[in-house]
Amino acid sequence: SYELTQPLSVSVALGQTARITCGGNNIGSKNVHWYQQKPGQAPVLVIYRDSNRPSGIPERFSGSNSGNTATLTISRAQAGDEADYYCQVWDSSLVVFGGGTKLTVL
């Protein structure tokens, strides 16, 4: 079965740029979606189809996908961005989530 690998944690200084990676075999050929989840809350879709932002998501959130790695980039990180982030793909009639990355804003 297809696997997605994310770092357990990423730290970023307030106002700097955070990059969260999602690794998978030839993931560049798949559509990657990203979710933000804060404690006690449901997930929120922040990027779909690699680099598209749903309405209401700040432009500070962007995504890219190539080769074996997809990346979620959060520019000008704010305290409110501190959350768990999950990547997701559809593969062989299944939805696969990455293990999640805890983003800490210092």
Chain residues binding other proteins by CB under 8 A are 1, 31, 33, 35, 37, 42-45, 48-49, 54, 84, 86, 88, 90, 93-100
Of residues 3 and 106, the one with the C-beta less far from other proteins: 3
- CB of 57: closest distance to other proteins in angstroms? 10
Of residues 35 and 61, the one with the C-beta less far from other proteins: 35
Distance between CA atoms of 8 and 102, rounded to whole angstroms?
A: 6
Of residues 16 and 104, the one with the C-beta less far from other proteins: 104
Distance between CA atoms of 98 and 37, rounded to whole angstroms?
A: 13
